[in-house]
Amino acid sequence: MGKKIIREHTGKPVWWVVMLAMAAIVSAHSATRPLQGLIDAVMRNGPDSQLPAHLSVVLGVSPVERTTAVKQAVIRDGSIVRTFNVCAANHGNVVMLTYDEHSQSTKAYLTSAAGSLRKAVYYQAGAAANERSLADARGDYAAERALWTAFGKKAPGSGAK
């Protein structure tokens, strides 16, 4: 009889732990793909565009120097133009570009659909691209990701509420 009481007593905490673990998994799943709603909306509704051939190679999106077909979302804020580019052939490759018309400089970030920064470059118009260390790029990339995540929550057809 003593064993039965122990089983009944320990059975409840085990279910509680299982329920907590499942809730954590569901929460983590939605948190691991913060850009997915925007990616889906851009693939459905975004205009066709192309990443420049050299940028495609520098970021590692293409193994050869040719343009890369993308679907795109654009935000203009004064002289700053931001684009969110989803590679048509591989939706897991997302390129965020921030172009400053005054300085004619561009910051480019290759990220996964889950929002993981893979590569970052900086370049001036007419000059070679300079790869940035991921540690150096993380701060401004985090701001870009937050901007696009918020934009995705407002975008029609993103599935976000």
d(CA 157, CA 161): 10
* Helix (H) / strand (E) containing 22: helix 2-31
d(CA 120, CA 132): 5
pLDDT in tens, 1-37: 444 444 344 444 433 333 333 433 433 444 446 799 9
* Helix (H) / strand (E) containing 43: helix 36-45
Instruction: Identify the band that residue 126 occupies on the pLDDT scale cut at 50, 70 and 90.
Output: confident
Is residue 56 within 8 Å of 49, Cβ to Cβ?
A: no
Give backbone dihedrals phi and psi of 38, rounded to 5 degrees, phi first.
-70, -40
Instruction: Identify the band that residue 155 occupies on the pLDDT scale cut at 50, 70 and 90.
Output: low
